[in-house]
Structure 1
Amino acid sequence: MPKNDELRYGPLTETCAHLCVDMQRLFGEGTDWETPWMGRVLPKVEQVVAAHPSRTIFTRFIPAERPGEGQGTWRRYYERWASMTIEQIGWDMVELMPSLARFVPPAEVIDKHVYSPWEETDLHQRLQRRGIDTLAISGGETDVCVLGTVLGAIDRGYRVVLLRDALCSSTDETHDASLHVYHRRYGVQVEPVTTDVLLANWLVPADAHA
């Protein structure tokens, strides 16, 4: 298994961006979708964003407005999770966690209605315009939206650096299993490291106001 504490393909440069997945109030503040240990990883996410807010893009998962909406099986999904529709939780719960929202702008936000941020958005086009070929990925959940984000990035040829201590999930079991898969099945295309290793090897100046 690859080491967890090194960037196997060398340091990061100005072609790297930080993609932070779904660190939102609806996952962090006592809802039916609460990720219990989001608070544990939030300081690590903040550390990366604070160093490079202008290089950060946040994704936000937008639930259906009301039960029964959505295409195909998403309709059934929101019948099961009626308590998490917008009419029940309100738009305020879609917002980023407050300690992260303060970085927007210069950080950017992309909204999505499915697990992957690559569908129905201009994420790839935004990154290409900025000359980005590498993504440092944080957020939640490790085994759901982060998984969709990672696989989409791999399919599009991005170098993926996965921040192990800045990821969270609803269950330890599937979080650990997902990290094992990232190591063993995507070892050439995914580099799991800690945030400290990322920041020490990201060879661009921190943002002036960070």
Structure 2
Amino acid sequence: MTTGLRFGAIPANAVHLCVDMQRLFAEDTAWRTPWMPHVLPVVISLCAFRPERTCFTRFIPARSPGEGRGTWRRYWERWASITLEHLGEERVELLPELQAFVPPARVMDKVHYSPWTDARLASGLMAGQVDTLVVTGAETDMCVLATVLGAVDLGFRVVVVTDALCSASDPSHDAVLSLYHDRFGQQIETAECEEVLDAWR
């Protein structure tokens, strides 16, 4: 697989989009992502580098089972233990180590895998003339995947930081990274944090 920043330096006005690094994925829940503590130091280093260029997303579960439209209703019946009335609203918070970056970092809440179904994120980035996104977070094969593919459709250059991603499924994590290389090579670059930081200075 070809990795690295094939299309040059990362512009100063790029945004670090950190996906769903929340307590509900790190703590003892049905959605616990075992690798999250391991990637957290890498995510912290990116946040600390450009906190004012960082935007966190948070996945907000339904309040109770059976809420939601279409298949989301069935989804929240299946994942009743993750609904707010069972989980507790405090579990949707960012990991404590990341809360320290807000502000100047921003937080955007979403109720689906993708942050793009609400036009506020895209319109805000475009108003700021942002054309490059540096993506980290969880899970590689769920919300990160939805974030990345939506960004591609909107025309952003996407840089995925491979050592700052995590998933509950190692095979799916690996498969998604292979997919980026095999099918999206003109729009998605993958690189480790050290290379990203060097290219963004």
Q: Same fold (TM over 0.5)?
A: yes
2: CA distance, partners of 1:91 / 1:59: 16
Q: 2:155 aligns with which of 154, 157, 173?
A: 157
Match of 1:198 in 2: 196
**How far apart are the structure 1 equivalents of 2:35 and 2:165?**
9
TM-score, with length taken from structure 2: 0.98
What residue in structure 1 maps to residue 178 of structure 2? Answer: 180
Structure 2 unpaired stretches of 5+: none
State the distance in 1 between where 2:136 and 2:76 align: 26
Give the aligned CA root-mean-square deviation in angstroms.
0.8
CA contact 1:110–1:121 (8 Å) conserved in 2: no
Displacement of 1:75 after TM fit? 0.3
Identity across aligned pairs (percent)? Answer: 55
CA distance in 2, matches of 1:113, 1:168: 20
Residue 129 of structure 1 and its aligned partner are, at CA, apart by 1.7
Residue 112 of structure 1 contacts residue 121 of structure 1 at CA under 8 Å; is this kept in 2? no
Question: In the aligned structure 2, how far is the partner of 1:168 from the partner of 1:200?
Answer: 22
Per-residue CA deviation, residues 76-132 of structure 1 (Å, 9 max, x unaligned), is 001000000000111100000000011000000000000000002400011112110
Residue identity in the other structure for 1:53? P
Tell me what 2:92 maps to: 94
Match of 2:36 among 35, 38, 43: 38
Moved segments of 4+, more than 6 Å: none
1:129 aligns with 2:127: yes
* Contact 2:13–2:53, Cα closer than 8 Å, also in 1: no
The correspondence of residues 46-61 of structure 1 with structure 2, limited to 5 A, is 46-61=44-59
- SS of the equivalent of 2:75 reads helix
State the alpha-carbon separation in 1 of the partners of residues 118 and 77 from structure 2. 23
TM-score using structure 1 length: 0.94
Which residue in 2 is equivalent to 1:16? 14
CA distance in 1, matches of 2:168, 2:130: 31
Distance 2:187 2:48 in 1: 26
Aligned residues: 201
| Partners of 2:137 and 2:164 within 8 A in 1 | yes
